């Protein structure tokens, strides 16, 4: 089992639902956290305050993760403030919904810039700079298997994330760094709930045997497992969805 004390994590999208829950869960286990945000500094600062109020270590850093220069600053800050980087938790992403036939191609490009290029940039940096014993945790979605209408561009971007993760795991042979992808099902975050009618949310919630939506904390438990003790899980996509089919 990998000791989490003195480990350092970067959590992209740390001001959002799953990112925030992941940052809080890692900090509770003794991990120092760089909380990344892009546009919601107040929420990121609140996450940092919640961590430090409980005796943890955290700092907020803003920037566009699809730009190598600004993404590099995340790693520079982690090394400068905490001594290095052991874990990358890459939750940052967007999820505009539209039928494929109606999706504006500029919106398609924006989805792929953030979800695919952003993943490639931060994974590239993590592959260069994570210490031995490290973990890269990317985020996909159970929609890649559930095939719900209106999610075509989003699911395509997350299929690319899975491919990047699986290949990077093999490329890091001999480095003692794991690379896995977490694929949540419907989870009660602003990203998921925005724009959905209450009756649709209830219908979706009943699609798994627990008959509820996942919570960010449900997903964060899997993140903490992959970030620390799960050293023999590598090159995998883990579907964390309560058994949704």
Tens digit of each residue's pLDDT (9 = 90 or more) over 56-66:
999 999 999 99
Average model confidence (pLDDT) across the chain: 94
Q: pLDDT at residue 193 above 60?
A: yes
Q: 46-85 pLDDT, tens per residue?
A: 999 999 999 999 999 999 999 999 999 999 999 999 999 9
Percentage of the chain beyond pLDDT 70 is: 98
Contact 24, 220 (CB under 8 A): yes
**DSSP string over 70-83:** HHHHHHHHHHHHHS
- Across the range 199-206, mean pLDDT stands at 86
Distance CA 203, CA 8 (A): 39
Which run of H or of E encompasses 181? strand 178-184
Residues pairing with 237 in the sheet: 181
Those residues whose C-beta lies under 8 Å from the C-beta of residue 194, and which sit 6 or more positions away, are none
- Two tokens, residue 141: 């979605």
Query: How would residue 2 be classed by pLDDT, with cut points 50, 70 and 90?
Result: very low
Show which residues are catalytic. Answer: 154
**Overall residue count recorded for the chain in this entry:** 245
Instruction: Supply the pLDDT for residue 5.
Output: 54
Q: How confident is the model at residue 22 (pLDDT cuts 50, 70, 90)?
A: very high
pTM metric for this prediction? 0.94
Q: Which pLDDT does position 190 carry in this prediction?
A: 79
Confirm if 59 and 35 have CB atoms less than 8 A apart: yes
- CATH T-level topology, domain 8-187+216-239: Rossmann fold (3.40.50)
Domain ranges of the chain: 8-187+216-239
Q: How far apart (Å, rounded) are the C-alpha atoms in residues 136 and 14?
A: 15
Q: What is the pLDDT of residue 170?
A: 98
């Amino acid at each position: 089992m990998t000791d989490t004390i003195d480990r350092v994590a970067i959590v992209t999208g740390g001001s959002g639902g799953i990112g925030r829950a992941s940052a809080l869960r890692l900090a509770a286990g003794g991990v120092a956290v760089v909380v990344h945000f892009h546009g919601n500094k107040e929420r990121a600062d609140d996450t940092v305050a919640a961590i430090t109020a409980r005796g943890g270590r955290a700092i907020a850093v803003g920037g566009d993760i699809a730009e190598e220069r600004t993404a590099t600053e995340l790693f520079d800050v982690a090394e400068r403030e905490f001594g290095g980087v052991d874990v990358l938790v890459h939750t940052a992403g967007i999820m505009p919904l539209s039928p494929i036939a109606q999706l504006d191609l500029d919106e398609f490009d924006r989805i792929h810039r953030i979800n695919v290029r952003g993943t490639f940039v931060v994974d590239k940096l993590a592959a260069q700079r994570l210490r031995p014993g490290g973990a890269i945790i990317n985020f996909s979605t159970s929609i890649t298997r559930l095939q719900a209408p209106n999610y075509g561009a989003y699911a395509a971007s997350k299929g690319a994330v899975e491919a990047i993760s699986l290949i990077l795991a093999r490329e890091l042979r001999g480095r003692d760094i794991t690379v896995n992808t977490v694929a949540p099902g419907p989870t009660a975050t602003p990203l998921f709930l925005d724009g959905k009618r209450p009756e649709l949310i209830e219908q979706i919630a009943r699609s798994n045997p627990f008959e509820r939506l996942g919570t960010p904390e449900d997903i964060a438990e899997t993140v903490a497992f992959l970030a620390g003790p799960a050293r023999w899980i590598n090159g995998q996509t883990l579907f964390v969805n309560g058994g949704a089919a």
